[in-house]
Amino acid sequence: MEKIAVLGAGTMGAGIAQLIAQSGYEVYLRDIKEDYVEEGLEKIKNSLDYLVEKEKLEQRN
């Protein structure tokens, strides 16, 4: 298993997608509206930024 799809980009879906991605898998995030996906991706970005700020995660370029 190399690619995983998460259906639903709300709070839970975004969190699940983030954990899967952090585990090294390619993740596809889907929802009924593209706006929901964009909001989910923003939640993931904010979460990752927070983890880097708190030194729980190392930022990579």
Segment 37-54, tens digit of pLDDT:
999 999 999 999 999 999
pLDDT, tens digit, for every residue of 6-32? 999 999 999 999 999 999 999 999 999
Return d(Cα 16, Cα 6) in angstroms, integer. Answer: 8
Any domain includes 20: yes
| Residue 59 pLDDT | 86
Within a domain: 59: no
Enter the pTM of the model.
0.90
Tokens of 7: 């259906």
Number of domains the chain contains: 1
With a cut of 80, say whether residue 61 has pLDDT above it: no
The answer to whether residue 28 is domain-embedded is: yes
Is 27 among the domain residues?
Answer: yes
Q: Is residue 61 situated within a structural domain?
A: no
What's the rounded Cα separation, in Å, for the pair 8 and 17? 10
Q: Is residue 60 part of a domain?
A: no
Provide Rg for the chain, Cα atoms. 12
Domain that holds residue 27: 3-53
Q: Is residue 58 part of a domain?
A: no
